[in-house]
Amino acid sequence: MLLQTRLKTLSNPIRSLRAVGALALPVLLMAGATADACTRAVYLGPNDNVITARSMDWKSDILSNLWVLPRGIARSGEAGPNSIKWTSKYGSVIVSGYDVSTTDGVNEKGLEANVLWLAESEYPHFDGKGKPGLTIAAWAQYMLDNFATVNEAVAALEKEPFTIVTDNVPGEDRLTTLHLSMSDATGDSAIVEYIAGKQVIHHGRQYQVMTNSPHFDDQLALASYWQQIGGTVMLPGTNRASDRFARALFYINAIPKDEDPNKALASVFSVIRNASVPYGINTPDQPNISSTRWRTVFDHKRQLYFFESALTPNTFWVDLKKIDFSKETGKVKTLDLGTNQDHTFSGEVSGEFVQHAPFKFLGLSG
């Protein structure tokens, strides 16, 4: 899901991928058959109880670990001399990919950012001039470092302060193509995609669910179709992105709006597990359908960030209120999750992180 060890040139050719037609329902229903699979869903409950869940589906070990990143870290867009620069305004807890990118994470203000695969993504041309570059590996981290709410993030993105820079997935001959979702403690959401080289933002509480292909506009068309049928009549059951989207959207709104936050949390876990792909599954005619490797669930109100690996029996969590995110005394720390995230943890684990040098986001200067 990340960049090569070094991007080949400053002017990356954009690979044109055929968009799915929004009105062609049979095509829509097949969309995502060849895309690596992830799902994200936001629960909007009573008493301002907002919970965001996501699954990470990938065909091999994505080398994920948990990291604590305090305020005050100076960062670069890692896109060569013309890179965007910033210093982290907010502390965050993130899940890395290959320890060179942020694939999922939350900050101390209750903002969550997730990146999911979108094969149809087409990013702007970047030649090292004009707008500064931002490596796609740090796209989610830029959001967590700089913004407390989705509204703030969207207002900044609408000014297009950077150009996303991307290249092939490590060891593979395919472009790293992602879209970004954000949610916050108010229940606000945003989906950010690049279509034909142009940034497209969907902003609002109604955008609760995102999977992979097709483009989000087409996912909304799917939502309209399945809402007419009704989830109690029939729901699609395969592991394709379009089917997972339909199930997640129905269930995230069908589960009880329980006053007990622990019961609400249990319901949300049930939804994201329902949208997961069984570990070790092999789909010969759809080689990129991938096993779910881990899941995260974030209770925005209580600031509890849960992690669940497919290979361990326990779900554990980080209480962000127990972490020192300050610039003066906060430290970069990591929790080693092991190969395939097979290390077992239990309960609240903020005290088990160990100090570590920060990882470097992969990009042109990587």
Closest CA to 208 of 227, 225, 223, 230: 223
Residues in contact with 16: Cβ distance below 8 Å, sequence separation at least 6, in sequence order: 122
Give the whole-angstrom CA distance, residue 212 versus residue 118. Answer: 5
Using pLDDT thresholds of 50, 70 and 90, give the confidence band for residue 28: very low
| Selection from 24-28, 231-235, 291-295 with the highest mean pLDDT | 291-295
Q: By CB neighbour count within 10 A (0-12 exposed, 13-18 middle, 19+ buried), where does 36 fall?
A: buried
Question: With the C-alpha atoms ordered 223, 224, 225, 231, is the resulting torsion angle positive or negative?
Answer: positive
Using pLDDT thresholds of 50, 70 and 90, give the confidence band for residue 221: confident
Give the whole-angstrom CA distance, residue 366 versus residue 364. Answer: 5
Q: At 124, which helix (H) or strand (E)?
A: none
pLDDT for 238 beyond 60: yes
The catalytic residue positions are 38
For residue range 262-290, what is the model confidence (pLDDT) as tens digits?
999 999 999 999 988 888 876 655 555 67
pLDDT for 171 beyond 90: no
Return the pLDDT at 362: 86
Using pLDDT thresholds of 50, 70 and 90, give the confidence band for residue 168: low
Nearest-10 crossing angle of helices 150-157, 139-146: 120
> Cα-flanking dihedrals φ and ψ of residue 67, to 5°?
-135, 140
What is the percent of the chain with per-residue pLDDT over 70, rounded to a whole number? Answer: 84
Average of per-residue pLDDT values in the chain: 85
Average pLDDT over residues 333-356: 97
Q: What angle do CA 64, 70, 76 make, to 5 degrees?
A: 75
For residue range 38-89, what is the model confidence (pLDDT) as tens digits?
899 999 999 999 999 999 877 777 789 999 999 999 999 999 999 999 999 9
